[in-house]
Amino acid sequence: MEEKERLKQLAAESAVDFIRSGMVIGLGTGSTAFFAIKKIAHQLHNNILKNVVAVPSSLATEREALRFGIPLTTLDEHPAIDLTIDGADEVDPGLNLIKGRGGALLREKILIQASRRTIIIVDESKLSSRLGASSPVPVEVLPFAWKPTALFLTSLGGPNIHRLMPDGRPFLTDQGNFILDCNFGPIEEPVHLALKMKERAGIVEHGMFLGLVSDVIVAGQNGINHLKIK
């Protein structure tokens, strides 16, 4: 296993230790969350955890959870989630995030906002001094409006790339929307930028997660570091 993958697994497995029997949990999307799914399944199958049900943040996560035998539920059945475990593309010192490289940013944000607690799991390469310094901001947009929306985002300082599949077709989210990856660079005022994007018709959601999490588990060469909002 490559070192980066080993660190992802280490962070994910550390986060699973916070799950208790009887919990409703949210499952994020992406390679780091996949390691958590495997660990949760192992603990369920060995009766270390019992009566745990999960709400997946994407169809891909749903397929993986079912493959490993994790019982699933919905927000209709459980509108309040005890704990969500998810990854991130970038984390700043205030534990604000950029997420969405896997294309599930809308459902991931919904799960996090419905959760009593969220634990974000990353390797140390995802830490950044300022949001946007190392990762573009994914923005989910309606296909009907993607071209004028792309121009609008460029006017905010974010030249963008229309995310495509390997065969050249547009990448589609689980909601059937497009993703524009916006290169704002280091963002001086993320709250202001977020408000500007939320005001624009055609933008479904953006990948900045501001003030939504209080726990980030970071795996690095020196082991596990649990970051918390002070």
CATH class of the domain defined by 3-125+210-221: alpha beta
> What confidence category does residue 65 fall into, taking pLDDT thresholds of 50, 70 and 90?
very high
Residues 213, 112 contacting (CB under 8 angstroms): yes
Give me the residue spans of the domains in the chain.
3-125+210-221, 137-206
CA distance 230 to 228: 6
Mean pLDDT of the chain: 96
Would you call 108 a catalytic residue per the annotation?
Answer: yes
Residue type, 33: A
> What confidence category does residue 78 fall into, taking pLDDT thresholds of 50, 70 and 90?
very high
Among residues 62, 64, 90, 108, the one annotated as catalytic is: 108
pLDDT at residue 5, as a whole number: 87
pLDDT at 227 over 80: yes
Confidence (pTM):
0.94
Mean pLDDT, range 171-183, rounded to an integer = 98
The H or E element that residue 191 is part of is helix 190-198
pLDDT at residue 1, as a whole number: 56
Q: What percent of the chain has pLDDT over 90?
A: 93
The CATH fold assigned to 137-206 is Alpha-Beta Plaits (3.30.70)
pLDDT in tens, 9-53: 999 999 999 999 999 999 999 988 999 999 999 999 999 999 999
pLDDT in tens, 79-126: 999 999 999 999 999 999 999 999 999 999 999 999 999 999 999 999
Residue-wise burial string across 96-126, b where 16 or more C-beta atoms lie within 10 A, e elsewhere: bbbbbbbbbbbbbbbbbebbeebbbbbbeeb
